[in-house]
């Protein structure tokens, strides 16, 4: 098999994430295999690492997933519903700027800021409450 370029592998992984929404590395590996271009999970992780640094992919720490991102809009908080696995991306500059400032004040050179909140989404919260007060 001819050696595939990093740019080609990046495009394969991005296309898989665009189709899947949010996926684990194993899910991406299965999707690129289904599309006819198999990659090992290690190769997928290597590409995901590159795409996270470039801002093209956002890691979703809850559930160890990844999703496509816009490198021009890096300042977001990811909201993850632990009931339905839904993901909402909320743009914010204040919170991510504060986190970057905090890191810099401790001598960190900031490459990226990942902010995530796990909880119950509005839809799950209104439809079927997990636990009512007083239960």
**Binding residue (CB under 5 A) for Zn ion from 44, 60, 81, 87:** 81
Comparing CA positions, the residue from 72, 77, 12 lying closest to residue 40 is: 12
Does 77 participate in binding Zn ion (rule CB under 5 A)?
Answer: no
**Burial (CB count within 10 angstroms: exposed 0-12, middle 13-18, buried 19+), residue 64:** exposed
Closer CB to Zn ion, 20 or 82, in the complex: 82
Does 124 participate in binding Zn ion (rule CB under 5 A)?
Answer: yes
Q: How far is the CB of 30 from Zn ion (least distance, A)?
A: 24
Work out the angle between the directed axes of helices 41-54 and 25-34 (0-180°, nearest 10).
110
Does 12 participate in binding Zn ion (rule CB under 5 A)?
Answer: no
**Binding residue (CB under 5 A) for Zn ion from 26, 53, 84, 110:** 84
In degrees to the nearest 10, what's the CA dihedral of 16, 18, 21, 26? 20
Residue numbers at the binding site for Zn ion (CB under 5 A) = 81, 83-84, 86, 121, 124
């Amino acid at each position: 098999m001819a050696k595939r370029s990093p740019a080609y592998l990046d495009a394969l992984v991005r296309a898989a994430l665009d189709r899947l929404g949010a996926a684990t590395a194993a899910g991406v590996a299965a999707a690129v295999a289904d599309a006819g271009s198999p990659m090992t999970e290690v190769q997928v992780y290597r590409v995901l690492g590159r795409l996270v640094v470039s801002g093209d992919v956002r890691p979703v720490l809850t559930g160890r997933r990844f999703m496509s991102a816009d490198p021009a809009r890096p300042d977001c908080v990811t909201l993850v519903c632990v009931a339905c696995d839904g993901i909402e991306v909320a743009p914010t500059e204040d919170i991510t700027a504060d986190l970057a400032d905090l890191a810099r004040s401790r001598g960190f050179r900031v490459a990226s800021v990942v902010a995530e909140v796990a909880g119950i989404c509005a839809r799950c919260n209104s439809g079927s409450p997990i636990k009512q007060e007083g239960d």
